[in-house]
Amino acid sequence: MQASEIYERIKSKFEDAIVEFKADAIVEPYLEVKPDKVKDICEFLRDEPDLAFDYLMCLSGVDYGDGTLGVVYHIYSMKHGHRFVLKVKVSVNDPVVQSVESVWKSADWHEREAYDMFGIIFEGHPDLRRILMPYDWPEGSYPLRKDFQVPEFYNGMKVPY
């Protein structure tokens, strides 16, 4: 199924959740949706038999550098062999996105990573801890954000050595 058809299907069900559908984006079209509806949309995408997006390829956090953070979902259907890109944008001051952990289990660690690196809070995630950074990494410091400053000292060690 083509991306535009998939978009039509989503539009017919979640008219109010859609922010933007960019059909002419370079390489792949994507659909931007509202962060508080993403779980419902994902559930719909997974459960609808002719969409059947059962495989979450990748979930990436992004810092766009202009005060917005984003989450990008690349999803794939093992059954039909089609793919789709969903996007969510939130402001850096209130970065709350619905968790899709209950839809695809693979989102579990990916969401933890996005939280760890960007501070995006996934609402409804059962175990939102840091995953790659050490547990004693300072609260509120998210290394992949564009405004991240490398600390001068880490645990008494000078950076860079």
Partner 1 sequence: MATFEITTRSVRGDLKTDTMILNMGPQHPSTHGVLRLELVVDGEIIVDVIPHIGYLHRCFEKHAEQMTNYQQVIPYVDRMDYVAAMGNELAYVLAVEKLMGLEVPERVQYIRVIMAELQRIASHLLAVGTYGLDLGAFTPFLWCFREREKILDLFEITCGARLLYNYIWVGGLSHDLPSEFGKKLKDFLKTFPKALKEINDLLTFNKIFIDRTANIGVLPPDVAINYGCSGPMLRGSGVKFDLRKNEPYLVYDRFEFDVPVGEGKMGTVGDCWDRYYVRVREMEESLKIIEQAWEQLPPGDVHSAIPKKVRPPQGEVYFRTENPRGEIGFYIISDGHSASPFRVKARAPSFVNLSVLPEISRGYMIADLVAILGSVDIVLGEVDR
Cβ-based nearer residue to partner 1, 35 or 70: 70
Say if residues 1 and 50 touch (Cβ distance below 8 Å).
yes
CB of 117 to partner 1, least distance (A): 7
Nearer to partner 1, 15 or 126 (CB): 126
Q: How far apart are CA 57 and CA 81, in angstroms?
A: 12
- C-alpha span between 121 and 99 (Å, rounded): 8
- Residues of this chain that interact with partner 1 (CB under 8 A) are 25-28, 30, 54-58, 60-63, 72, 74, 78, 81, 85, 104-106, 108-110, 117, 130-134, 143-144, 148
Closest distance of CB 76 from partner 1, Å: 9
Cα–Cα distance, 78 to 73 (Å, whole number): 16
Q: Which amino acid is at 116?
A: D
Q: Which residue, 98 or 110, has its beta carbon nearer to partner 1?
A: 110
